[in-house]
Chains A and B, each alone.
Chain A
């Protein structure tokens, strides 16, 4: 559209770059096919630039325009004033055609799309940021009702002495056993070093008359039966693991004692598990 033909000053320049013409060196080569004396021409290899310095020598510097082709010779033009930058006025807005005017206060005559598009992008990204931040915050600090799903509060009045009650906590059965004094005495008198999983009774209970354990057999996950087995505690019917009244494994294939969950006594009659 705004093409201009201009006079070009062209200099024919060949740099020290390419096309080193090597002188042919006559050479004799042992060849079975030719018995007569032929001169074999070998062209010595141009040194390939390997180092930074030698590659640097091949660079063109400065304003340069290179034209080459099948018909024209290789020409390198170092241009200063004879390169014409074409006029782009066809593509500019009418208000911006004058280069010397100040456009600082031109905002209200600008097309509204120039401002609405960035605003739309800003609103979309702020929307995404709001959701991401909200999800992170709710993950790091969950609401109280979500946290309360992880705990269960048990009233201990329901468990008479000598009996074992089962409660559900996080989809697992919890055995709450109200132990009699003789059971306590028996458990405390056990030789801990003989046990498969040596644990003192005192480190498994907070108050010795209340044994709270997770009722899942540590062998393969069946639920033991209370007040059964040879040791006055629990007996797992699946593979015959015997636990005592402190939930410790005594006989059978289970490797570990019954797990003791985290719990606190809110007052004398209620316990919060988890």
Chain B
């Protein structure tokens, strides 16, 4: 209960504080949205993206051939 009171007095009492909270909220919101969207996308496409496939294309130094991921 007192948490809401503190939040109110800190952020919502003055409109200038609301504006500040909005601006900070935009940056936080953007970062959260971008990170979570990327995470969900990579989860859905596990194994199909280049960053997942690339380790299989490393050159083996003891053998002179490249290993393919399989056709």
Contact = CB atoms under 8 A, between A and B. Distances in A.
Interface of A: 107-108, 110, 112, 115, 119, 122-124, 126-127, 130
A119 B22 contact: yes
A123 B8 contact: no
Given A123-B29, A127-B29, A127-B30, A108 B22 contact: no
Given A112-B4, A119-B18, A119-B21, A107 B12 contact: yes
B22 A126 contact: yes
Contacts of B26: 123, 126-127, 130
27 contacts: A107-B12, A107-B13, A108-B5, A108-B8, A108-B9, A110-B8, A112-B4, A112-B8, A115-B8, A115-B12, A119-B11, A119-B12, A119-B18, A119-B21, A119-B25, A122-B18, A122-B22, A122-B25, A123-B25, A123-B26, A124-B29, A126-B23, A126-B25, A127-B29, A127-B30, A130-B26, A130-B30
B7 interface: yes
Interface of B: 4-5, 7-9, 11-13, 18, 21-23, 25-26, 29-30
Nearest to A127: B26
A130 B22 CA distance: 12
Nearest to B8: A108
Question: Is chain A's interface secondary structure helix, strand, loop, or mixed overall?
Answer: helix
A123 B5 contact: no
Contacts of B30: 127, 130
Contacts of B4: 108, 112
Contact of B8 (A107, A124, A127): A107
A124 B28 CA distance: 12
